[in-house]
Amino acid sequence: MLLKRGLFLKAVTKGGKMTDRVRRVSVLFLMVIVALVGFSDASMGAELRPFDIPPQNVQPPPPPPQGYPESNAPRVDASVYTRFKGRLKTLKLEEKRKWAESFKTKMDAAVDEGDLDKTKHYKKLLEILNTSNPRSS
């Protein structure tokens, strides 16, 4: 009831200023609050103890790829290259140029596919073709 009429405020203050008694009680109340909060167990930290990191189930990354992926195509026998050398002796220059162009196209396609075996095969055929007729390259 005193609060509604503002009588409490008038009793605590004189002309809008705090009295000495109210000031002392306020300071004492503030000190009690600070002491309770500051020295309570809830505000103090717990004792420090070693902390063990939980084990991590991390798998190592896969090994990096070694060059091109393996091809399912069978490897070429060395006799294929010797027969090709013999066949080149009978070919005309124009036919050799057409074969060189065809082998180059097939080698580029094998590189794009990532097929190392085919790439090596066509490269070897091109080398044989170019050594049999150095002017055609």
Report yes or no on 85 lying in a domain. yes
Report yes or no on 116 lying in a domain. yes
Report yes or no on 27 lying in a domain. yes
Report yes or no on 125 lying in a domain. yes
Burial of 117 from C-beta contacts in 10 A (0-12 / 13-18 / 19+): middle
pLDDT in tens, 82-102: 888 888 888 888 988 898 999
Give the pairing of strands 17-18 and 13-14: antiparallel
Report yes or no on 20 lying in a domain. yes
Report yes or no on 61 lying in a domain. no
**Rg of the chain, C-alpha, whole Å:** 47
Low pLDDT (below 50) residues in the chain: 1-2, 136-137
82 and 131 co-located in one domain: yes
Backbone φ, ψ for residue 17 (5° rounding): -110, 145
Report yes or no on 56 lying in a domain. no
Q: What is the number of domains present in the chain?
A: 2
Report yes or no on 106 lying in a domain. yes
Residue 90 DSSP SS3: coil
pLDDT, residue 28, reads 87
What is the extent of the structural domain holding 89?
A: 78-136
Amino acid at 99: W
